[in-house]
Structure 1
């Protein structure tokens, strides 16, 4: 299978690839240490959204990958690929499963993101969804790659209490830089955060991730990892739609809501970003959820309300003064098993 090109290097000469800092190889004669039990599942460390990159030498940077967060468990009995919500998607990523079996390790847990790259080597969430058959689909993706950025368990040793620098040292020994297989290394980039963000935005990427160099791996959104985006992209609940006689599949506009405590509040709509395929699949799902009971207060005369079962990934530029999305564009539906967090308003 021909592999898509890697993302263009940032802040470097065009003919020089982005590389992590050189690491010493792992000593194969390391002493025998007591083995730690292998976790059945690890709640992921999540990145906290910030508007600007942090300052200081204790932060390292990576590209932000736009896909599905996964953990790859390499176990004595085989490989398991789990979603962020803990669902087993091994069968849906056969190429990643095969690549995991070929890694030179007996037991391991790799943290990373499944992505599909476009012709310019950029992650494309829509292409990933298409490869899996859309939300609720059961297709097996033959084009998804696994970009791994952390190692939580390695040859019988739980690494979660180790510093990021140590975990990366072992990961880079396991998954070599510049590899072109179905499991690839998300490389650290040694650069000024502001310049790196500007470069990522110029190349059409979603943004960057900043990580504390000396932090252990802590589940949840605690601030050890930060995400800084070029364009805002978040998940919202679809609470209704408006019909159109000219738009694809007759969807003129999706009506969106965010969470506010235990309630849903209307945050505006989106009428762009649909293509021929996803529009008709979406309309079929919407028609099956039509209800007379609105899930959020929506002041739109032509609104057709639906049960709040679908979560859409929406790209947008800003918020209006009255709490509505500006310049919104539809990217696709999140899968329930992906456990995507719906945007919360204050």
Structure 2
């Protein structure tokens, strides 16, 4: 049997005495240092989406449209705005509309992750129009009409948010960029449907596809499976290893394409549609400057001009043949080095 102490423990009062009271708060010393802030990263390597054949299932996944444009990070800093490409190049001067809009958000410090696009008449992202707005390959034009769709918030008000779950980062982002807000900076909204239904709707409207994101994951740089991309029409980046000239000799008839397999490039077919006349002429001129005598891959085309594999083409296609060639291809554009394009890798 436990005995009660005859006297209350030190620091407590008996029932006959006054009730317990907490110590009065002392005013804060103005000379005391503020809580530490996280230093703003000069650049954050982006989180990349893995290709998936179908949308994942489960309430832990959120779904957004896949925007067909340039991946950008908008840095709102105390004294300036910086707009960085996926490869870390500063393109602030080329996106003055986004720069002005970022200043007007009224936020002291912030890093937005998103995609810059140009929309067509039906509200779909048009990669070709974006290229034209920026002046094409090597262009320096200022794309004032570009819209930036923000889909993540990585740094805010002096604090690094990458350790937080996506759902928490998303909540903060939506408080800064309300849904259905117009202007050069807009919120990339989540679909109010399950993955299969949302994917079907995206394809029926002629969109490129959707992105699935795990709500409970932090922001991790690289292609780790936290984000998945599901495409209606497949579109990938391939190295240009040669071209077939047109019959008039001033343009191109098709491009020879290669992917990475193991430690080397392998020929995966060609693309001969999707070129506008001026683009085809300009591309021939650029490729002629890269011409070489010894091909970098084995290919069956006898009349081709072989080139150093320095340019990367974005190509739409429907499927792969049994012998590893692309089916029903269409040229979309040349990926610029500043966008840090990744040549498609064939898994062994």
TM-score, normalised with respect to structure 2: 0.88
Which residue is 1:232 aligned to? 234
| Separation (CA, whole Å) in 2 of partners of 1:118 and 1:145 | 11
| Separation (CA, whole Å) in 1 of partners of 2:228 and 2:152 | 15
Deviation at 1:34, TM superposition (A): 3.5
Which residue is 2:340 aligned to? 339
Which residue is 1:48 aligned to? 50
Q: Deviations over 1:210-260 (max 9, x none)?
A: 11111110001111111000010000000001112169x431111000112
**Aligned 8 A contact 1:233 1:315 in 2:** yes
Runs of 4+ in 1 over 2 A off after TM superposition: none
Query: Quick check: 1:320 aligned with 2:325?
Result: no
For residues 214 and 269 of structure 1, do their structure 2 counterparts lie closer, same or farther at Cα, with a shift above 3 Å needed? same
Alignment of 1:93-108 (within 5 A): 93-108=95-110
Q: Deviations over 1:74-105 (max 9, x none)?
A: 00111000011111111110100111111121
Among candidates 179, 190, 193, match of residue 191 of structure 1: 193
Which residue is 1:260 aligned to? 261
Secondary structure of 1:130's partner?
helix
**Aligned 8 A contact 1:58 1:213 in 2:** yes
Secondary structure of 2:268's partner?
strand
**Aligned 8 A contact 1:60 1:190 in 2:** no
Which residue is 1:283 aligned to? 284
Among candidates 106, 115, 118, match of residue 116 of structure 1: 118
**Aligned 8 A contact 1:104 1:174 in 2:** no
| Separation (CA, whole Å) in 1 of partners of 2:137 and 2:296 | 21
Alignment of 1:161-180 (within 5 A): 161-180=163-182
TM-score, normalised with respect to structure 1: 0.89
Query: Quick check: 1:134 aligned with 2:169?
Result: no
Q: Deviations over 1:28-74 (max 9, x none)?
A: xxxx8531111111000000100000000100100000000000000
| Separation (CA, whole Å) in 2 of partners of 1:212 and 1:104 | 29
Secondary structure of 1:190's partner?
coil
Which residue is 1:147 aligned to? 149
Query: Which consecutive unaligned segments of at least 5 residues does structure 2 have?
Result: 1-33
| Separation (CA, whole Å) in 2 of partners of 1:215 and 1:73 | 22
Secondary structure of 1:73's partner?
strand
Deviation at 1:261, TM superposition (A): 2.5
Query: Quick check: 1:299 aligned with 2:300?
Result: yes
Q: Deviations over 1:87-134 (max 9, x none)?
A: 111111010011111112100000000000011100011100011111
Which residue is 1:87 aligned to? 89
Deviation at 1:325, TM superposition (A): 0.3
Deviation at 1:322, TM superposition (A): 0.5
